[in-house]
Chains A and B, each alone.
Chain A
Amino acid sequence: MTGFYHETAFYGSDDDFLAIAVPFVEGGLRDGQPTMIACAQKNTALLRDALGREDAVTYLPGADQYSRPADAIASYRDIFGKHSRQGATQIRTVGDVPHPGYGVPWDWWGRYENAVNQAFAEFPLWGLCPYDTRTTPPEVLADVARTHPYVAAASGEHLPNPGFGNGSPLSNPVADVLEQGSPRVSLVDPTPAAVREAVSAAITGTELTEDNAHDIVYAASEIVTNGLSHGVAPVRFRLWADDSRVVVTATDDGPGPSDPMAGLMPTTATRSAGLGLWILHRTCDYVSMGRDEDGFTVRVSVGGSGHT
Chain B
Amino acid sequence: MRTSGVTDVVVGLHPNDHLCWPFDDFAEFRARAAEFLVDGLEQGQRACYVAQGDDLEADLVAQPVLAEALRDGRAEVISLESRYGTSATVTPEEQVDAYATATRAAIEDGFAGLRVAADATALVRTPDSLDAFCRYEHLIDRYMTAEPFSAMCAYDRSELPEPAVTRLSTLHPVNNTASAPFRLHATTDGIALDGEVDWVSHDLLSLALESTEPDDGELRVDTTGLRFIDHHGLLALHGYARANEATLVLRSEKSALPRLIAILGLDDVDCVR
The verdict on A270 contacting B254 (CB below 8 Å), with A196-B196, A225-B199 known, is: no
Q: Which residues of B contact A193 (CB under 8 A)?
A: 181, 196, 198, 200, 228
Q: How far is the CB of B147 from chain A (nearest CB, A)?
A: 35
Contact of B259 (CB < 8 Å), options: A211, A221, A276: A211
- Complex: how many Å from CA A214 to CA B253? 13
Q: Mark B95-124, 1 if CB is under 8 A from A, else 0.
A: 000000000000000000000000000000
Tell me if A41 counts as interface (CB < 8 A to partner B): no
B111 CB → nearest A CB, Å? 42
B128: Cβ under 8 A from any A Cβ: no
What is the interface of chain A mostly: helix, strand, loop, or mixed? helix
A283 within 8 A of B: yes
Closest to A228 in B: B199
Smallest CB separation, B233 vs chain A (Å): 11
Give Cα A192 to B233, complex, Å. 14
B residues 236-273 near A (Cβ < 8 Å) are: 254-256, 259-260, 263-264
- Assess whether A210 is in contact with B228, with CB atoms less than 8 Å apart: no
Category for how many chain B residues contact A = 10 to 19
Instruction: Tell whether A47 is near chain B: CB-to-CB under 8 Å.
Output: no
Which A255-291 residues have C-beta < 8 A from chain B? Answer: 270-271, 275-276, 279, 282-283
List, in ascending order, chain A residues with CB within 8 A of B235's CB: 270
A214's contact among B181, B200, B254, by CB below 8 Å, is which? B254
B257 to chain A, nearest CB (A): 9
Identify the closest chain A residue to B201 (Cβ). Answer: A193
Taking the closest CB of chain A, its distance from the CB of B73, in whole angstroms, is 47
Contact of B231 with A275 in the complex, beta carbons under 8 Å = yes
Closest CB in chain B relative to A215 CB, distance in Å? 8
Contact B228 A221 (CB under 8 A): yes
Contact with A along B200-239 (1 / 0, CB 8 A): 1000000000000000000000000000101110010000
Judge whether A192 and B254 touch: CB under 8 Å: no
Chain A 191-205 interface 0/1 with B at a Cβ cutoff of 8 Å (1 = within): 111001000000000
CB distance from B259 to the nearest CB of A (A): 7
Q: Assess the A276–B263 pair: CB atoms within 8 A.
A: no
Contact string, B112-143, partner A, CB cutoff 8 A, digits 1/0?
00000000000000000000000000000000
CA distance A276 to B260 in the complex (A): 11
Q: Quote the shortest CB–CB distance from B228 to chain A (angstroms).
A: 6
- Taking CB atoms and an 8 Å cut-off, the chain B residues in 52-108 that contact chain A are none
Note all chain B residues with C-beta closer than 8 A to A221: 198, 228, 230
Q: How far is the CA of A162 from the CA of B200 in the complex (A)?
A: 48
Give complex CA distance A275, B200 in Å: 17
Contact of B231 among A191, A217, A279 (CB under 8 A): A279
Would you give the shortest CB distance from B271 to chain A, in whole angstroms? Answer: 15
Are B256's CB and A211's CB within 8 A? Answer: yes
Which chain A residues border B264 with CB–CB below 8 Å?
279
Minimum CB distance partner of A191 in chain B: B200
Given contacts A193-B196, A225-B198, contact A271 B254 (CB under 8 A): no
Distance from A209 Cβ to chain B, minimum over Cβ atoms (Å): 10
A237 → chain B, closest Cβ, in Å? 14
Asked whether B256 lies within 8 Å of A229 as measured between CB atoms, the reply is no
Least distance between A218 CB and chain B CB atoms (Å): 7
Q: Is the CB of B231 within 8 A of A276?
A: yes
Q: How far is the CB of A300 from chain B (nearest CB, A)?
A: 15
Chain B hits for A283, CB < 8 A: 259, 263
In the complex, A191 Cα to B198 Cα: how many Å? 10
Expressed in whole angstroms, the Cα–Cα distance for A221 and B228 within the complex equals 10
Contacts A192-B198, A279-B231 known; list 20 others, CB within 8 Å.
Answer: A191-B200, A192-B200, A193-B196, A210-B254, A210-B255, A211-B259, A214-B254, A217-B228, A221-B198, A221-B228, A225-B198, A225-B199, A229-B199, A270-B232, A271-B232, A276-B230, A276-B231, A279-B264, A282-B263, A283-B263
